Structure 1
């Protein structure tokens, strides 16, 4: 690895050493809880969009801009704030972001206009990038032999937070109103802030350059680490396959094959929780058999899932089985990819995660758009073929791209 990849590290800064702090079981579970509660901030608004539109007298398409604003904020935070985890003390940075998230949620709860709510949503997305700082921190503190298992356990909290947040938000919104959900979330962030201030250890990075040098080093790392590029591409392609399915599922369930309502689509989100439960197992497999093995298994499961969905998706049993296989496969590969990249340049884990997650979410966005087009022009068979094509492309990249 050349010195340019670390971009202006001062000579007086000591090399990265094994951390003095230890990850006990209670701290790992607190990190998992933190990831779940913080990432939920991004998804609370989705079941509330119709109610928000009624409050501010907006069309459905205009109200949906709240969800878009939050996602834009999250991507911005991932690109421009998460790399600071290699430059600033991570605990302090995360506490500041949680304080900001608390303020943004409170502002959203009492927003007098839609413009204020949209602005608060952008800032909330930025401040909710905490999990992408916490995962590199956990990878740094974890013993090398247990890194995959610990990252997998923490990721399971994040995945459960994504899945459960929509269900909780819909229930609260229906019974207490949409503003109440943001009030409750603000209280949760404040409580979490106190817990982390008390329990989270300090984690000092050793990057001593400027912010400009830090951002420039992201490009250097991307150029000089083929394994990082490969993981980002594989992760993005698998998340595209994942997004193809979840973007079109509600249309399929409401169509002539099932004629179900949106409540059944929500049930399939809970079925997807199996993927979250599989995350620690994937991390353990990455520790014992190597991340490439676990990534290969994940890709294989994704391919099999689309065969099941294409051939048996018109029966409820086949559809449920396909969902489970897809979620387990994608999450297994995702955990293993992160375990792999965190071992590349230990002092640059936040920046490595930025590159990987940018590729991951880019793939998801492409999959969502492509899935909608496939459904419109080719129906369910087209959706399944497209999802399988993305998974097949992930296999080709993992097998042939950037290998000596």
Structure 2
């Protein structure tokens, strides 16, 4: 008989919503940079440091804060992180100079990322073995939707009441969320409370060294997120120029098409629960490659662009959820460190994709960008094929909890 689920639908919905609200704090700044630059009388080149500050915060969170979930009770940890995030958002709201602004943005990136990844690790830990993929998929769908909606919400509120009101709204929202999480989340036990903090952080390198599933899935994620950023970092360049000359709001709205990709997250998680993680990976990587064909025809019709975005996001989300589902099965006592180490691969891939695509566009145009994206996606499929052949029993073994 199939074991009963350990997470109620209401609690799972709360975790998904909380993940989306938390991650949004990291991305509110992107459509507001021109308004921020005008408010502080700084150049567009310098205001890019706002986004850099949030990304530095993200990296610090993955290395030094997210792993704490393995030695500190997650319910209490998330309350502390939520309060710290509210403080960072208020610093941004009230910032009187660029230094205060950057400090607040660093805190938003740090604690927004820590909250988001902590919620995913909590969901994985609270879920039963028979539902972990579905639970992670649903929570990750919340993250994906929150990321996409953040830009739209920030732009809308800013147009009505100014950019500072975005962060005042975000702080109020996080305060209500913190109260809901404190009341609703069960206080789960800690698996590794015997570890010191120094040992905890150092053990992330040990996990990468010892856990083959983490290494393989991390490298697949690196290539997948590189392909993602090849597209999203370059899209604004042709759409803001002739003959389109779209506004930043209109360009950001194309991201909403990708919400359809969130539907792939839950389904991929269920397939991983059923032992089909490798088959799901293969299908998702094929979708990722196929997406670049309609994207290359963007000049013929915006419908091709929309189709390409749907395929790209469906493939990417399916890979991301499958990766996490398989990784979380390897070490039940280290979910926070596993998600922190895995997301480090994501950060590297995102950076490489963003840097390479602007140089490619400058020299080869949009066709060059699509060729680069297809090449990186093809490399991900090739890497999967080689590693899957070397470990043909991975699905069955991981479901049994025996793969390293």
Quick check: TM above 0.5?
Answer: yes
Give the counterpart of 1:182 among 158, 164, 167: 167
Query: What is the alpha-carbon distance in structure 1 between the residues aligned to residue 299 and residue 335 of structure 2?
Result: 40
List 4+ stretches of structure 1 deviating above 6 A.
none
Query: Would you say the 8 A contact 1:21–1:141 is kept in 2?
Result: no
Q: Distance in 1 between matches of 2:211 and 2:222?
A: 17
Q: Name the counterpart of 1:74.
A: 58
Distance in 1, Cα, partners of 2:149 & 2:115 = 18
Matched residue, 2:84 = 100
1:115 alignment counterpart: 99
Deviation at 1:310, TM superposition (A): 2.2
CA shift for structure 1 position 315: 1.8
In 2 relative to 1, CA 141–379 (structure 1 residues): closer, same or farther, beyond 3 Å? Answer: same
Number of equivalent positions: 385
Q: How does 1:1-150 map to 2 (within 5 A)?
A: 22-128=6-112, 129-150=114-135
- What's the CA shift string for 1:282-336, capped at 9, x where partnerless? 2122223522121111111000001222246532121111110001000110000
TM-score normalised by structure 1 residue count: 0.92
Tell me, in whole angstroms, the C-alpha distance in 2 between the residues paired with 1:209 and 1:221. Answer: 14
Deviations 1:143-172 (A, max 9, x none): 212111111111111111111111110111
1:322 corresponds to which residue? 308
**C-alpha distance in 1, partners of 2:246/2:167?**
30
What RMSD over aligned residues (CA atoms) do the two structures have, in Å? 1.6
The answer to whether residue 175 in structure 2 is matched with residue 163 in structure 1 is no
Query: Separation in 2 of the partners of 1:130 and 1:188?
Result: 14
2:355 aligns with one of 359, 369, 385? 369
Task: Tell me, in whole angstroms, the C-alpha distance in 1 between the residues paired with 2:297 and 2:162.
Answer: 42
Question: What SS does the corresponding residue of 1:361 show, helix, strand or coil?
Answer: helix
Unaligned runs of 5+ in 2: 392-404
Q: 212, 227, 230: which one pairs with 2:198?
A: 212
- Find out whether 1:242 has 2:216 as its counterpart: no
> 1: CA distance between counterparts of 2:72 and 2:292?
43
Partner of residue 260 from structure 2, selected from 268, 274, 296? 274
| Residues 257 and 314, structure 1, Cα contact 8 Å, conserved in 2 | no
Hey, what does 1:200 align to over in structure 2? Answer: 185
Structure 1 CA distance for aligned equivalents of residues 313 and 80 of structure 2 = 33
Where structure 1 has 5 or more consecutive residues not aligned to the other structure, the ranges are 1-19
Q: Distance in 1 between matches of 2:81 and 2:246?
A: 40
